[in-house]
Each structure stands twice: as C-alpha cells, then as structure tokens.
Structure 1
Amino acid sequence: MANKLQIEGQEYATSNKYGITPYFKRFIAECSYMLGEEESGMPIGRLPERSRYIKSEDILYEIKKIQQEQILGDGYVYEHIKRGMPKEQREQLRNSVKMNEQMEYMKFAQEKYSNGETTLQMLDDYIEPDALYLLDEPEVSLSPANQILLAEKINKMSRFLGCQFIISTHSPFMLGTLNAKIYNLDSRELQETKWTELENVRYFYDFFEKHRNEFK
C-alpha cells in the first residue's frame, strides 16, 4: 500500500537475483485505489502530504536507539539521511551542539520511559492531524494495558484530529478496542468480520477457557 500510495516510509523490493522479471513493480502497477470523497461530496484529489507508513521495525529501531547509547548518534543521523541530507552536512551534524543536545534528550528518555511508553511517545511525535497512516503491528513491545491505551489513542485521533488509519495487527486487545472495520486477510474474499470470529482471537479464547478453573 505504501509503495502504491507513494508515501513516506515506503520500501523497495529488489528483484530475484536468479531472474530478470521485476515481479514487485509489476504487482504494484496492477494495483489500484480510490481516494473517495470529501464530506461535501467533492472527490479527494490527493493524499495529505504528512501521510506515513510506520513499520514495527521503525518502532523497534526507535526503542533500540534510546536503549543503547552507542547507536544514539547513528540513529539521529539516520533520520536526517532518510530526509535526504547530503554527506557533507551529515558530518557537520555529528559534531554539532544540536546533536549533543538531542543525545542528552534521548538518554533522558532511556531512563524515563519503558519500551511501551517509548512506543506511545514515538507515535505521538509522528502522527499529525488530517493525514493517512499505515501501521504495521504497532503493538510490538507493548503490554496488554498499553495496547488498549494505544487503540484508545487511535480512536481519539480518528475522531478529533481527522486522521485515518489502516492497521495490520494480530492483537486481540487492539482489535477489541478499535472502533474500526476489520478485514480478515486470511479469507479468500478478504471479507469484513467481527474481531471475535478471527482465528487468532479464537485461539486466545479457547486457551483461557481451557484454563478457566486456574483463575478461580
């Protein structure tokens, strides 16, 4: 989706080294989408510029950045590389006062926040009003309580900030809290379904039912 929509965070797949057919590019070319209409009925012309694809790897990388001091500098510079900063400016940045200040901030965050709190703070920093966000398993590293808190945050951002989210998740806590349409990607027709009917969720239910007496 991110590649077809050409939004920040998109990834590029390389061709199979044993063949010359660009399967990924062909697949993207064959995909299509529609942007729908405004509340006034006018067609939406383009996606908001702030739209972004946030992967679970991005979240884990952010956590790693503030947990390991030796990669703080590389992580900070990495963010500027993604934005197209030239090599000469990167070297200047490494020795700048601004970078030292940012590293001190991240060291403070390492002491102040748990992994889950760091994830929630990261998403707060990334997400802006009136934009589309693709979230890939945002519950990574979050406790059940924080997964529910994240889902509640997403509900509020959708309602009050005009954001739209497309989320890939296996979390029953997220699925049961989000006010969202749920599609079962394992079904042949990609049908809309209730969260309680998903195989992954049923597995949790059956497991706890099996151990019901142990909770008494």
Structure 2
Amino acid sequence: MGFIIYLSSFSFSEETVRNPNIYPYHVFADKAEKLLFFRPITILYGNNASGKSTVLNIMAAKLQIEGRECATGYENYFAKFVGECSYTLGEDEKGRQLYSIPQISRYIKSEDILYEIKKIQQEQVLREGYIYEHIRRGMSKEQIEQLKNSREMRKRIEILKFAQTKYSNGETTLQLLDDYMEPDSLYLLDEPEVSLSPANQTLLAEKINEMARLLGCQFVISTHSPFMLGTLDAKIYNLDSRELQVVKWTEVENVRYFYDFFKKHKKAFE
C-alpha cells in the first residue's frame, strides 16, 4: 500500500471580530498565513500557547471526527470560526479523488490518554467505562444486566487491573494508542508523547512512520518533543512563526535548546 492523503489542505478563517481576544480568533490574529498543506505525516510545532491544540480541535470540529470538542460561550464564536474554515480532500494511492474522511478517523488528545490510564487505576470507573462501551455498541438493557454479573466482565476487569500494575504509564500509553489506531484512517494527535520516556517517544514515532507507510494512515500531530520531531518522516509547520513556516526539525527552538544545553555540558559526558 502506498501513501494516502485523506486531508490535502485546511484553510482557517480570514474573518475578523471586534474584540481581538475572542477565542479562537485571537490565535490567528497575527498570522499572515492561514493555510496548511498536508503530507502523510504533518507536525504542528510550537511552544506553549502557540495554538497547537486549538488548531487540531478546529480541524476535528470542521471534519466532524470522533474526539472533537465544541467550545461554547457568547454568540458561540468557536462554531462561527469553524464554519468560516474550509478544507480540501486528497487522493488514494491510485490517484483517485476522495470525497470523504474515513469514518473511523479520530482526534486523540494527551488528556484522553491520561484519563484512560486513570480509569484503569479506578476499578469502579473502569467497570462503568466497560459497560458504557457495550451500551454504545447497541447492547440492550437486559444484556447489560447479564453482563454486569458475568464471569466475562469480571475476568476482563481483572486483566485490565493486572495490566496497570504490571506496566508503567508510558507502556500503558503505547498500548492504548495501539488500541485506538486502526489502518486506513486520519488521526489528529495532540502531544501523544506525554508520559512517554525518550525511548518510548522514539518508538511511538517509528510506529507512526510505519502506519503511514504501510497501513494507509495519515497523521497531523502537535508536538515539541525533539525525539518525535527527529524521528517522524514529517512536514513541520512552525506555529510560532507569523507565516506558519515549514522548517527542518533541527531549526526549531526547542530542539536547538536541547542541542545547546548538551553541547554546553559536553565535557560531563567525556
């Protein structure tokens, strides 16, 4: 299978509002460029408050994919902004135009992963999540009652509890991401490296490269991890720049900081 581009480009609203601090208009108020073009893997790099998460959430809302969030407030400016955005779809591996985003596409946030880990740590919440998942799949009330007292459910809960005691948060994160991600999908990932060691960040990046290359997946990822930036075969947008510049991973501020820090302390390693 060759590379597939489900989402080709995304254009953010060019409209202005009276109050420049209104969310999410304020994120783009000083941007000279508001158009992104995507590759199989695209990274949105930026420091804290650069708008990485906002960009992904706007895209998820516009594309109507699972995991999207909707901000509310006076006149619902978030929905207004999303309505003013636009996007173009890409082509399959044979060059044929696509007309929709895969239904199993998903927006996965770092807090989603941390919440799932917390659920595993709390048996009651875990039980409720397990039951809810079966309700979501269409199981009837009678079947749910049978499930609550079943050996199958007790066994599954024990397996998950054991997994939590056996594996670290980082290993659990990798397993959860494996469970979430399926072939032939578009994924928006918001700082997936949270709670992962440098070695596991690199491992995750290598898995993402493989899924894009072999399993027909496309990724848009927000991160400032030098290990993710250096491992992913990606196009990198610098959200700290006014022009949304495309940069090399060695040029971004966070990576340069690491480089300068270790260079300064080079003798300590010798």
TM (norm. structure 2) is 0.72
Contact 1:133-1:164 within 8 A present in 2 as well: yes
Contact 1:77-1:90 within 8 A present in 2 as well: no
**Match in the other structure for 2:128:** 74
1:63 and 2:121 equivalent?
no
**Match in the other structure for 1:8:** 66
**Match in the other structure for 1:30:** 84
Task: Indicate the structure with greater helix content.
Answer: 1
Contact 2:70-2:79 within 8 A present in 1 as well: no
**Match in the other structure for 2:221:** 167
Contact 1:66-1:106 within 8 A present in 2 as well: yes
TM (norm. structure 1) is 0.88
1:148 and 2:202 equivalent?
yes
**Match in the other structure for 2:21:** none
Mean CA deviation greater in 30-39 or 66-75: 66-75
Q: CA deviation at 1:160?
A: 0.8
Q: What secondary structure does 1:45 align onto? A: coil
- Percent identical: 71
1:56 partner amino acid: S
Contact 2:131-2:144 within 8 A present in 1 as well: no
Give aligned pairs, total: 211
Distance 1:3 1:96, change over 3 A: farther
Q: What secondary structure does 2:182 align onto? A: coil
2: CA distance between counterparts of 1:101 and 1:58? 25
1: CA distance between counterparts of 2:228 and 2:88? 27
2: CA distance between counterparts of 1:160 and 1:75? 32
2:62 partner amino acid: K
Q: What secondary structure does 1:140 align onto? A: coil
**Match in the other structure for 1:209:** 263
1: CA distance between counterparts of 2:153 and 2:103? 27
**Match in the other structure for 1:48:** 102
Task: Indicate the structure with greater strand content.
Answer: 2
Q: What secondary structure does 1:74 align onto? A: helix
Q: CA deviation at 1:179?
A: 0.5
Q: CA deviation at 1:69?
A: 3.3
Which structure would you say has the larger RCO, counting Cα contacts within 8 Å and 6 or more residues apart? 2
Contact 1:56-1:138 within 8 A present in 2 as well: yes
Q: What secondary structure does 2:245 align onto? A: coil
Distance 1:6 1:80, change over 3 A: farther
Q: Please list every run of 5 or more consecutive structure 2 residues that lacks an aligned counterpart in the other structure.
A: 1-58
